[in-house]
């Protein structure tokens, strides 16, 4: 007589919902892959072809003498309670293009290294 099993109808609705969710997920992933590809309208102004020659020319750049190099120099070594304590001071070292030191200024940063003396 027109009797429809409720569990069969619920199963059909569940299958339809699952199909729609999977379809939506696949369409979204496909669209994201398209946008990320070189053929996308977003990337139309960029050339991704390997057919175009690339012009690369080496440039000689000399390091500037006004940019300091940070160096740590050993200031003192002490023996205290069976430990050796080394104290280092950080310096800003300015060099010319030949590597000669023009100026060396302490930065105020001090590091200590402490280790056990086996003797």
Q: Are residues 1 and 42 in the same domain?
A: yes
Q: How far apart, in whole angstroms, are the C-alpha atoms of residue 30 and residue 37?
A: 11
Predicted local distance difference test score (pLDDT) of residue 54:
65
Which residues does 71 contact at the CB level (< 8 Å), separation at least 6?
90, 91, 93
Domain limits for position 14: 1-56
pLDDT for res 110: 94
As a whole number of angstroms, the distance between CA 88 and CA 67 comes to 22
pLDDT bucket at 2, cuts 50 / 70 / 90: low
What tens digit of pLDDT does each residue of 36-55 get?
Answer: 887 777 776 665 566 666 67
Residue 38 lies in a domain: yes
Give the tens place of pLDDT for each residue, 59-81: 776 656 678 889 999 999 999 98
**Residue 2 forms part of a structural domain:** yes
CB 108 within 8 A of CB 85: no
pLDDT of res. 71: 93
Helix (H) or strand (E) segment spanning residue 8: helix 6-36
Nearest residue to 115 via CA among 82, 89, 87: 82
């Amino acid at each position: 007589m027109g009797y429809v099993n409720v569990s069969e109808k619920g199963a059909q609705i569940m299958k339809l919902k699952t199909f729609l969710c999977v379809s939506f997920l696949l369409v979204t992933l496909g669209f994201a892959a398209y946008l990320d590809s070189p053929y996308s309208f977003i990337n139309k102004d960029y050339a991704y072809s390997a057919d175009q020659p690339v012009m690369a020319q080496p440039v000689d750049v000399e390091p500037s003498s006004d940019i300091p190099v940070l160096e740590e120099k050993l200031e003192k070594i002490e023996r205290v309670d069976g430990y050796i304590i080394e104290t280092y001071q950080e310096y800003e070292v300015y060099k010319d293009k030949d590597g000669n030191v023009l100026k060396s200024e302490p930065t105020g940063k001090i590091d200590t290294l402490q280790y056990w003396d086996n003797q």
